[in-house]
């Protein structure tokens, strides 16, 4: 299988073209520190050509959910250093995904502080999971221009911390409705300063962050994840093709490691003008390597690689439940079924206890 062939991504020599997708698992301490169980979890999955960690908070302000990890305190950095050392010791490669949830959070997990966002517009029609159950989203506090620039600095500091922990690179989570995504789409960004209004202004936040990350981490060591056709968390844009075409064209200037594209994961009947195949729409605009994600199985992934539609394919729940996924694909063996009840439950069950083939 071409999917199982070695590949050089940026400056990383990968053992195959299979990527472990970032997946929130809620196993960190209340202070955002990953522990020995997380070391074991990632060490078990070094068969992936590249591991991208779960989304990791860049600051205290970035937190949206309890028991999610951070990369802004010494204790958090030390925890991740142990993960990286264990992965590297077994021949793996690992990027840290940088996360700011923006309005996708709740004051009950933020010491009573309201979430922040580009504009004071709350998410409608959804609720947020908190330790006290499901709660309606709150109206976020709109960031001042000076505060937006401070968040950009926070991303840069987080990248410095990631490099100090030994990561091979970083990925900006700019999809699925989190803060960078909130700046991109006109449904959540109604600012009138340099970070709002025109497509160029709405893309400025992401592009400024990406330039900062490249300056810190170096060329071909930074990736970005985008979800142009996913309306979840209120990500409604009047013209996503125009918005993301401008963004991707400008990302070409930065010598990135990769562009990570999420295919649609929700019905788009209400958005007939949105791209139905994100890969075919945006792949021609990017000069570098593409990771594609979203509903890929063994056959579909191999087809995408064989047709040169993407260079790598990311798998989420399949890697969650099958630490030896590449070996199973090689043998066309049966797969463990992911236990959704334990995705965010905490503890070893559904985390480090999935069996591997003999």
Which tens digit of pLDDT belongs to each residue from 67-83? Answer: 999 999 999 999 999 99
* 180: Cβ contacts below 8 Å, ≥ 6 apart: 100, 172, 173, 174, 205, 206, 209
Kindly tell me if the per-residue pLDDT of 129 is higher than 90.
no
Q: Give the list of residues 6+ apart from residue 314 with CB closer than 8 angstroms, or none.
A: 19, 20, 21, 52, 260, 291, 292, 293, 296
pLDDT of residue 346: 85
Averaged pLDDT, 309-322: 97
pLDDT at 221: 97
Instruction: Work out the mean pLDDT of the chain and round it to a whole number.
Output: 97
pLDDT for 132 beyond 90: no
Q: Is 327 left (phi over 0), alpha (psi -120 to 50) or beta?
A: alpha
Q: Cβ atoms within 10 A of the Cβ of 314, count?
A: 25
Phi-psi category of 68—alpha, beta or left, where left has phi over 0 and alpha has psi -120 to 50?
A: beta
**Is residue 248 very low, low, confident or very high in pLDDT (cuts 50, 70, 90)?**
very high
Distance of alpha carbon 312 from the chain centroid: 15
Q: Is the pLDDT of residue 358 over 90?
A: no
- Residues acting as catalytic residues: 178
For residue 121, count other CB atoms closer than 10 A to its CB.
Answer: 17
The pLDDT value given to residue 39: 98
* 291 contacts 261 by C-beta, under 8 angstroms: yes
> What pLDDT was estimated at residue 264?
94
Q: Taking residues 14-35, report their average pLDDT.
A: 97
Distance, in Å, from the CA atom of 304 to the CA atom of 324, rounded to the nearest integer, reads 21
Report whether pLDDT(243) > 90.
yes
pTM above 0.95, yes or no: yes
Q: Which domains does the chain have, with CATH numbers?
A: 2-342 (3.20.20.70)
Tell which residue, 19, 92, 3, 12, has the closest CA to residue 294.
19
Whole-angstrom Cα Rg for the chain: 19
Query: Do residues 222 and 251 touch, judged by C-beta distance below 8 A?
Result: no
**Contact between residue 195 and residue 145 where contact means Cβ atoms under 8 Å apart:** yes
349 pLDDT band, cuts 50/70/90, is very high
Question: Mean pLDDT throughout 163-169?
Answer: 98
Q: What is the dihedral of CA 260, 38, 330, 12, to 10 degrees?
A: 50
Q: Residue 130 has what pLDDT?
A: 85
What span, in angstroms and rounded, lies between the C-alpha atoms of 323 and 40? 11
The predicted model gives 336-346 an average pLDDT of 94
């Amino acid at each position: 299988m071409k999917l199982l062939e070695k590949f050089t991504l940026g400056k990383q020599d990968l053992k195959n073209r299979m990527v472990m997708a970032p997946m929130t698992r809620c196993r960190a301490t209340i202070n955002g520190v990953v522990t020995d169980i997380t070391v074991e979890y990632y060490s078990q999955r070094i068969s992936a050509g590249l591991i991208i960690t779960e989304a990791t908070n860049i600051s205290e302000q970035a937190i949206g959910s309890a028991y999610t990890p951070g990369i802004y305190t010494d204790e958090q950095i030390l925890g991740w250093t142990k993960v990286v050392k264990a992965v590297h010791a077994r021949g793996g490669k690992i990027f840290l995904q940088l996360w700011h949830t923006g309005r996708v959070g709740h004051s009950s997990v933020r010491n009573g502080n309201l979430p922040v966002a580009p504009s004071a517009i709350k998410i409608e029609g959804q609720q947020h999971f908190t330790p006290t159950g499901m709660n309606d989203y709150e109206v976020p506090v709109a960031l001042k221009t000076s505060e937006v620039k401070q968040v950009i600095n926070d991303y840069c500091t987080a990248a410095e911390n990631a490099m100090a922990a030994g990561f091979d690179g970083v990925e900006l989570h700019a999809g699925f409705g989190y803060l960078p995504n909130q700046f991109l789409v006109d449904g959540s960004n109604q600012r009138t300063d340099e970070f709002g209004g025109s497509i160029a202004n709405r893309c400025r936040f992401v592009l400024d962050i990406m330039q900062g990350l490249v300056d810190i981490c170096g060329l071909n060591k930074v990736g970005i994840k985008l979800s142009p056709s996913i309306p979840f968390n209120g990500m409604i844009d009047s013209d996503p093709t125009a918005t993301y075409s401008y963004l991707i064209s400008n990302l070409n200037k930065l010598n990135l490691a990769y562009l990570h594209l999420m295919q649609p994961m929700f019905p788009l009947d209400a958005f007939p003008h949105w791209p139905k195949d994100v890969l075919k729409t945006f792949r021609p605009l990017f000069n570098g390597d593409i990771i594609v994600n979203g509903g890929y199985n063994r056959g579909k992934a191999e087809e995408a690689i064989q047709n040169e539609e993407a260079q790598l394919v990311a798998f989420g729940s399949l890697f969650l439940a099958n630490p030896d996924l590449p070996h199973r694909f090689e043998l066309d063996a049966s797969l463990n079924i992911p236990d959704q009840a334990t995705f965010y439950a905490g503890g070893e069950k559904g985390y480090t206890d999935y069996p591997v083939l003999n």
